[in-house]
Amino acid sequence: MAIKVSLDVPIAYVFISVLFKIYNQAANNMVFVIFSFNGVSSTIVMIWIHKPYRDYCFKLLRIGEFSRTAQTRVNSQGTTMSVAPNVI
């Protein structure tokens, strides 16, 4: 049903507006918003469903990076060094 609304209604409006030579800026803006929402929603669903895409996006955006803790090491001279986690 959502695909029908997000594709059929704007296409019908464009067809009717060209056929009857109707120009309405607000309606034209809504057509482009609905078309754009169709692409954004399909991208979000693809990232949500497919784990490899989701993992790559999380890695790219560095989500979950702050949950890792830094390691502390003591060298042979007794000084303490803080080692950041590997984020690559």
Which span out of 20-24, 66-70, 79-83 was modeled with the highest average pLDDT?
Answer: 20-24
Task: State which H helix or E strand residue 75 sits in.
Answer: none
For residue 84, the 8-state DSSP code is P
Amino acid identity, position 76: S
Res. 84 pLDDT band, cuts 50 70 90: low
What is the predicted pLDDT for the residue at 42?
Answer: 87
- 36: confidence class by pLDDT, cuts 50, 70, 90: confident
Torsion of CA 53, 54, 58, 64, to 10 degrees: -150
Q: What is the pTM of this model?
A: 0.50
